[in-house]
Amino acid sequence: MRAERAAGAPAMQLQEANHRLLSAKAIRTWYVVHKWTSLICTVFLLLLSITGLPLIFGHEIEDLTGDTVDAPELPAGTPAATMDRVVAAGLDGRPGHVVRFLFWDGEDHPNATAPSQDAPPEALRTVSVDSRTAAVLQEPEEPGGFMYVMFKLHVDLFAGLPGMLFLGFMGLLFLVAVVSGVVLYAPFMRRLPFGAVRRDRTARTRWLDLHNLLGIVTLVWVFVVGATGVINTWSDVLLAIWRNGQLAEMVAPYRDKPPLAALGSIDTALAAAKAAAPGMEPRFVAYPGTDFSSAHHYAVFLRGSTPLTSRLLKPALIHAADATLTATADMPWYITALLVSQPLHFGDYGGMPMKIVWALLDVLTIVVLGSGLYLWAVRRKGATVPISETEEIREQAA
């Protein structure tokens, strides 16, 4: 340890100081933890925070590039078309296709709604239909473009579930790096007032101070966004658990029944679902035979009306032939946790000012990541204790 090589008195002072909060050995251990967890995850975290930046403004960017669907202005109070007509419009001219999901996209383009179709997930295409006129607003498009690339890099590195879980693991390492960074903040700041950035020192000292300042101030935000991001990487796994658990139980009586000859009206099914969950509105419908339903049911997923409850889902399974309610249940806690973690990761629940603050915090995180990498790159060869400690010793010995 460098401290022992320095003049005797300051070394003793350092040890004495260390004993107040952490032993020198503990500091070294936390330093090693911080260094290695950071080194492994930083490149991926930089990728995540850079690709995440445009994703915060995804809707606005799509508006600018004309990728959003705009429903025409119609007089207020224009009656809605029946959903059966909307679904028929979505299927029109697409022989051999079936509807798999029906979802409402109210926030961005009111009254646009989209039935989508076909077998494997990659083959799903979305048709946007005006819910008042049943006119097709947007034909299916092949996925692609800048935002799609950002999204895929951010979510799974174009590597599907393994890519998602890998990024989740990097996120876990990042959380460890954050916690160890907080522990190390104390010994680094023992002689510095809050917010100290020693601009008149070497670049390394300046960036170390900045790294510590930005890191500790953005701590809670970065931890919440990191942890909810990790939870989001488990979404496929959590949904599989739900399918095999609660959903399987709800539709168990129908397991061996013959398949349905024809589907009944979606309007009647929606009415039955709303009656089963007063005050809630449908957010999406999973058609019979999809992963979110049985072979015999429309699974209507309803949401509440507050910022929080609009993110939560309550499934109502409606028999697809006779529109009777088979079962309804609140989602288990792990699905609720997943759904709550989504807005907390996306920052899309407090309007444009929140998005701007979210983006600023993201940029500050990029600075913390980048400065951390820099501090490692210019580390003093052979130094085994945190840089500022060794620097203090030098100053005092001088």
Partner 1 sequence: MSDRIRPRYTAWQIFSVPIVLGALSGVGLVTALVGDGPWDAVSWLGLGLPVAVCLWYGWLRKTRSL
Which residues form the interface with partner 1 (CB under 8 A)? 10, 13, 17, 20-21, 185-186, 189-200, 210, 213-214, 216-221, 224, 306-308, 340, 343-344, 349-351, 353-354, 357-358, 360-361, 364, 392, 395-396
Rounded distance between C-alpha atoms, residue 34 and residue 15, angstroms: 21
Name the residue among 139, 145, 163 with its Cα closest to residue 47: 163
Rounded distance between C-alpha atoms, residue 303 and residue 311, angstroms: 7
Closer of 214 and 300 to partner 1 (Cβ): 214
Closer of 40 and 197 to partner 1 (Cβ): 197
Closer of 81 and 208 to partner 1 (Cβ): 208
Q: Shortest distance, CB of residue 216 to partner 1, whole angstroms?
A: 5
Cα 128 from chain centroid? Answer: 25
Closer of 45 and 214 to partner 1 (Cβ): 214
Q: Shortest distance, CB of residue 395 to partner 1, whole angstroms?
A: 6
